[in-house]
Chains A and B, each alone.
Chain A
């Protein structure tokens, strides 16, 4: 497996409610500790029981994104065989329950394993079938079983000893069965790569860690896929790290609560998806006019309305850019992978506080719930910049305090409520420098212009987009957010084509000077995004004055596959 093109993809499929995700995450952790890079992907319908769930993970020495075909299918029921045959490589293996499932006909190497019987023999419940299958899979892949046993012991550490014993026995029995029954070598082997210090995290976990590292003191959210797992993560860690986590009655309350907390001087954050964000729109404007910092995590899924709840998309960029009446400064940052989720979430808090405005962390389901191996996050790279403040002494010296003081930068230093001399009105009505309601023209213009100046400051501070591949190329792929991994993976296969890739993290304010330079110097542009109308493509036309020559769009809720990018590039560059 020296060539990344030889990465292998393993898929676990079965009925919803049978722990497919957990089995997948366990397998991922085993392989991560063996030193492999990985990228995983789950599909599940918006159902609790009875639907079909899948987890697939691409494993290799260098992995940016999951790829097809599938090399090893772990089919936990009949549907899994029937539905996924077409995704298999010609030399794929299929592990299935020899007593319950009929394998399809094809060139595949079959591994009939009596999953249910072994589960019963070790005294486990039907749910433990997964564990038997994971043991079997490691045997097929030629990997040792000890890593799995260690992880099972850690995962069940707080459970009764019998549960631990049953799980360990289930895994070892599955492993041993394959070793004893199928001596022939499976063509895709994952032997130990060696020590590599790495983490295996989902996008949401990385966002949560970034927020914690940044000193987020309050997280408010109402459950909605794909943000719910972030709420769970925060709720679990909150008491340990000193962060209050609360699920209010609705998203309206969520954002208004976070703004109240921000007014009081702490770092606060909310999380939601499009439907929930629709309810937060008015409060976004409140943060804008009251100049209250707040970080808004927005996990995109296809809509409108309830849409495709458990699938992915990138169709809410324009919504966030324009949400709420009138105009006020805001910033939108879209991490492209799990590493960026961590660092950019932390940075979002800095932008929010320095410029006293709402900052969006724009995610999507693929990135939020997808797991990836990453270099351990480096907390020392995170700077906490809390912006401009005045103290009681400053106020005493000055003789007064003006919360919305008109300054050249547009930034009016904040005060901690409770500070002697620091009283003022933080006002959702247009206001004067103290904060009192006032409607006259000079004041309105002064406050409006002051607020909008902050956006220009922020624009100047935004780092340039990232360029991957050669500096000069006949085609530049352009994308934002979670399509980064797919495109980087595609580039691995396009090494003899003159193509490079400009990836945007910061989407608004747009464009920065660097962005204009990079886009203008490209020979041809192809914008890749998960929406129908080409929302970012439109931004390039509108604000840079370039009409991108090509585009690739998808709005079916599924991620782009690297081979789709490769095919399109070949079509464009003949």
Chain B
């Protein structure tokens, strides 16, 4: 481990606490994700200065001020592009992206699909509370049909987006679902995700007692089950898709749906093979031969 003056040795979850205690509502699922992330970083032995944390905008994005790390708090929906830039600039650091369902599946949906396709080696954790919370309660793409959001007094009528199925069909190489109410399980998923060589996507079922009280911890507990306890093997694209299609209001499988090793975006750039871009020596650039081409 690299010595770090900002923390004690060995690493503890408290080392990741910032000077600000979270301002989330009591009972918010974000606390469980906060705890899971810190646990995972401890297990991965990644001190704050070795991890890059990129956040979107939302209650989920406010997380940025509650954790220590190389934090980049980006724009609503744009965390993934910012994270791609950060990773390409220094692929020696681990990059974890955290956002909400409105953030990632409405405002930033295109980036989500394209980032899945790129298979860049970063981890994406979505606080999926099936509602826009920071803007106080509108429907999101993952809201259940009929959800009465503030902008949908008659109830949301669009088909409920299924991020797991979408990630699988877009070429995802690590597609998983976690639950904010099961910290050990979610911590382990994040560890697996960070260790996965490629883009790892973890859609976290997050209760928001304030704006989506129906989807409470109990509601989830009545529906969730763990794929790994059923003998399920996450190595088949078609099976993964099929199991991801179980009706959300009936059964909610947790765990890794699909996993595959494939070339990552970084492999595609010989420019990165010797050293990360950030370590290139700019004083050594010589354009003489380039100039000759124009003479």
Residue B4, interface by CB 8 Å = yes
Q: Kindly supply a per-residue 1/0 record for chain A positions 421-434, scoring 1 wherever the CB is within 8 Å of any chain B CB and 0 otherwise.
A: 11111111100001
Q: Once the chains bind, are B52 and A417 in contact (CB under 8 Å)?
A: yes
Which chain A residues numbered 384 to 415 have a C-beta less than 8 Å away from chain B?
384, 386, 395-396
Which chain B residues numbered 251 to 295 have a C-beta less than 8 Å away from chain A?
269-272, 277-278, 280, 282-283, 285-288, 290-291, 294-295
Residue from A213, A242, A268 in contact with B280 in the complex, judged by beta carbons closer than 8 Å = A242
**A417-B93, A436-B18 as given contacts; A425 in contact with B71, CB under 8 Å:** yes
Q: Once the chains bind, are A260 and B84 in contact (CB under 8 Å)?
A: yes
Binding site for B on A (CB under 8 A): 32-33, 197-201, 205, 209, 212-213, 215, 217-218, 220, 237-239, 241-244, 246, 248-250, 252-254, 256-268, 282-283, 286, 290, 376-377, 379, 384, 386, 395-396, 416-429, 434-437
Residue B78, interface by CB 8 Å = yes
Q: Which residue among A199, A419, A426 has the maximum number of chain B CB atoms within 10 Å of its CB? A: A426
Q: Once the chains bind, are B54 and A260 in contact (CB under 8 Å)?
A: yes
Q: Once the chains bind, are B295 and A250 in contact (CB under 8 Å)?
A: no
Can you name 6 A-B pairs with beta carbons within 8 Å?
A201-B294, A242-B271, A283-B78, A384-B282, A384-B283, A421-B5
| Other 11 A-B pairs with CB < 8 A, given A239-B269, A252-B111, A437-B62 | A260-B54, A261-B88, A261-B277, A263-B85, A282-B75, A379-B291, A386-B282, A416-B278, A421-B6, A425-B64, A437-B73
Q: Once the chains bind, are B19 and A436 in contact (CB under 8 Å)?
A: yes
Q: Kindly supply a per-residue 1/0 record for chain B positions 40-64, scoring 1 wherever the CB is within 8 Å of any chain A CB and 0 otherwise.
A: 0000000011101010010000101
Give the Cβ gap from A230 to chain B, nearest Cβ, in Å.
14
Q: Once the chains bind, are A199 and B295 in contact (CB under 8 Å)?
A: yes
A253 to B112, CA, bound (A): 11
Give the Cβ gap from B16 to chain A, nearest Cβ, in Å.
10
Q: Once the chains bind, are B78 and A244 in contact (CB under 8 Å)?
A: no
Q: Once the chains bind, are A218 and B285 in contact (CB under 8 Å)?
A: no
Residues from chain B with Cβ under 8 Å of A376 in the complex: 291, 295
Residue from A267, A282, A384, A418 in contact with B70 in the complex, judged by beta carbons closer than 8 Å = A418
Give the Cβ gap from B11 to chain A, nearest Cβ, in Å.
14
Residue B182, interface by CB 8 Å = no
A379 to B286, CA, bound (A): 8
Q: Once the chains bind, are A244 and B269 in contact (CB under 8 Å)?
A: yes
Residues from chain A with Cβ under 8 Å of B287 in the complex: 209, 212-213, 241, 377, 379
Residue from A215, A264, A421 in contact with B49 in the complex, judged by beta carbons closer than 8 Å = A421
Q: Once the chains bind, are B85 and A264 in contact (CB under 8 Å)?
A: yes
Residue B98, interface by CB 8 Å = no
Residue B216, interface by CB 8 Å = no
Q: Once the chains bind, are B73 and A429 in contact (CB under 8 Å)?
A: yes
Q: Once the chains bind, are B90 and A417 in contact (CB under 8 Å)?
A: yes
A263 to B86, CA, bound (A): 7
